[in-house]
Amino acid sequence: MKNHTCIDLRHLDLEGAIACYLVDGIEPAIIDPGPCTTLDRLLSELRGQGVGAADLRHILLTHIHLDHAGATGHLVEHFPSATVHVHEDGASHMVDPERLVSSTRRTFGELHDRLWGEVKPVAADRIRSWRPGEAWVVAGLRPIHSPGHISHHVAYLDEEDGTLFAGDSMGIALAGGPQHPPTPPPAVNLPDWARTLDAIGRIGPERFGATHFGFYSDVDERRVQLKERLEALEARVRVAVDSGTEVEDAERFERQVREELAPFMGEERVNRYFDMFPAQTDWAGVAFYVKRNP
């Protein structure tokens, strides 16, 4: 029987911001190791769970954004028996992360290095890429193609106990608060995301683990809520774009998100989280989408 552990990476010493999941079985695996800036914390937590340098067998990536996958190149040096598993469209960016890092710098600017640190390449022979439609199970987990946040997003389903390791496909769920849509530019596809959420509904997992943050058992309620919030955000952004009020509405959205989540997280924690991951960036990702899909 596998054990699932949510490891709080305490990104920039903030509790409940970024999770890595340990699947501890015959072949121990982790899902989304997080950024390089939390590497020491992750290694310490894995040692505390009895996972030493010779033990880890699999590093599964839901997608290649640096808050999920940035530490991967460092980890393969620490765990020589580990194979990296990623959607085939993300594999090349792990081998050569230069374009990925350049794109992330455009989004986060001068905060980039403080947030994510150095990104190391992963040797091609350490990667096992997966393509949608391919029958494949690793460490007892089945990959589920879940585009929307980004086209190559993959969730991982433990069919034995019904846990879905959702990455960002089920949105951001902080401290038990309502679902927030993570929609940074430039790769958001809203119709794909709606189809992904419908597919998760058909699968009917017992619970999901969100990278941001933690396990939740009220899956269908949160799935529907995220779908509705994605639709509402698209609608408000279209109005703002058409009326020329983009700057004002993006700022208003930022304030509203922080105010809504403050009762769950506390004002200090919510401000620290959204200083790192601004809600205005999510607004901008939807604006990027709607301008290309009028």
Express each pLDDT in 79-106 by its tens digit. Answer: 999 999 999 999 999 999 999 988 888 8
Give me the sheet containing 58-60, strands edge to edge: 3-8, 19-24, 29-31, 58-60, 83-87, 127-130
Cis peptide before 213 (omega within 30 of 0): yes
- The fraction of the chain above a pLDDT of 90, given in percent, is 91
| Helical (H) or strand (E) element with 206 | none
- Confidence check: pLDDT of 1 > 80: no
pLDDT at residue 259, as a whole number = 98
- Cα dihedral 65, 67, 70, 75 sign: negative
Query: The whole model's pTM is what?
Result: 0.95
CA-CA distances (angstroms) from residue 194 to 95, 165, 170, 198, 283? 31, 18, 11, 6, 17
> Is residue 122 within 8 Å of 73, Cβ to Cβ?
yes
Summarised one tens digit per residue, pLDDT across range 130-152 is 999 998 999 999 999 999 999 99
Residue 206 has pLDDT above 80, yes or no: yes
Q: What is the pLDDT of residue 289?
A: 98
- Mean pLDDT across the chain, nearest whole number? 96
pLDDT at 238 over 90: yes
Judge whether 92 and 127 are in contact, CB under 8 Å: no
- The strand pair at 127-130 and 83-87 is best described as parallel
Residues 6+ apart with CB under 8 A from 271: 258
- Looking at the domain 3-227, which fold is it? Metallo-beta-lactamase; Chain A (3.60.15)
Nearest of 29, 54, 9, 1 to residue 213 by alpha carbon: 9
* Contact criterion met (CB below 8 Å) for 146 and 196: yes
Contact 148, 229 (CB under 8 A): no
CA angle 219, 224, 228 (to 5 degrees): 150
pLDDT of residue 20: 98
For 12-52, the pLDDT digits (tens) are 999 999 999 999 988 999 999 999 999 999 999 999 999 99
How do residues 240-290 score in pLDDT, each as one tens digit?
Answer: 999 999 999 999 999 999 999 999 999 999 999 999 999 999 999 999 999
